[in-house]
Amino acid sequence: MLRSASRQPLARPVLIPARTYAVSLKPPVVYARKTVPRNYSERKTYLYNQYTRLLQSTSTAPLILFEHVDFSANRLIQLRADITAAAAKAAATPSLAPSPVRPQADAAPTFTVLKTGLFGVALREASQFDKSTQKQLAKSITGSLAILSFPTLNPPQLKAILRTLARSVPPRKPKTEQQLADEKKAAEAAFVPGRRPKRQRPTAIPDLKLLGAVIEGRLFLAEGVQSVAELPTLDALRAQIVGLLSAPAAQLAMVLSEASGGKLARTLEGFKKGLESEEQDGQAPPS
């Protein structure tokens, strides 16, 4: 009996799934032994109020959503410095508008790392979004969340910042089959029976993925954000409209200026001769 029992296969350990960052829009579960409403800590209350204000301000201040992976504190500081420099450079670029409105020095975009669970609670209780927008926004969030908030919609500034982020944090390249095979061979060569393998911490490579944006209460995916970034500023659009409306008046003024003075007399004389020739042709007898 002992031998048969010892030969039975051992049960394999249960693998615990990795933590996910899915945003749930379902109402909270109410337990019998817990007080309602719950009392949250000051930190959670502050973050919840901050996320609520950010969602309420999307009618005028767009929010750009990112998924970040393996960012250290120093790397985040450098990333925020790059965003500030790109925003200042875009603000210093001359505009085609006659009277451009310069953004204030303290109105720079801010990059904020969010707690996904608390953001889901704020999104669930946000009344300015419809149910379909809430579901689409919650479905797009699958990892650690960060947002880039703008004081106002400025497409050239958004384009400059997205270009800077693409250079500062290039997308990860998937490993090739040859690299995976080399890693497997190196692991097999380093394996020694009866000895615990040496633990090596892998080098963290940060990654930043554009998920979408909430602009004027509407949800845009990554492709839509790139399209919005290609738009001109509001001042440039106003200048183009003014140019289109003033083009006919400018052409009429140019014609009148060319016909002024002696040219006006020659123009009228030519017009008179043209009318006389038409009358003579109409009175000529038929052949």
Query: Does residue 103 have a pLDDT over 80?
Result: no
Query: Does residue 165 have a pLDDT over 60?
Result: yes
80 burial (CB, 10 Å; 0-12 / 13-18 / 19+) is middle
Query: Does residue 98 have a pLDDT over 60?
Result: no
Mean pLDDT of 153-158: 89
Better-predicted residue by pLDDT, 64 or 237: 64
Q: What is the DSSP letter of 104?
A: P
Beta bridge partners of 215: 218
Better-predicted residue by pLDDT, 231 or 276: 231
DSSP 3-state of 50: helix
Per the listing, tokens 């007898």 go with 285
**pLDDT score for 220:** 87
Q: What is the DSSP string of 30-56?
A: PPTTS-SSPPPPHHHHHHHHHHHHHHH
Question: What is this structure's pTM?
Answer: 0.67
Query: Does residue 81 have a pLDDT over 90?
Result: yes
> Of the candidates 156, 144, 174, which has an alpha carbon nearest to the alpha carbon of residue 228?
156
Decide: 156 and 93 in contact? Cβ < 8 Å.
yes
What mean pLDDT is reported for the chain? 77
Query: Does residue 253 have a pLDDT over 90?
Result: no
139 φ, ψ to 5°?
-70, -30
The number of beta carbons lying within 10 Å of the beta carbon of residue 12 is: 6
Query: Does residue 102 have a pLDDT over 60?
Result: no
**pLDDT score for 265:** 62
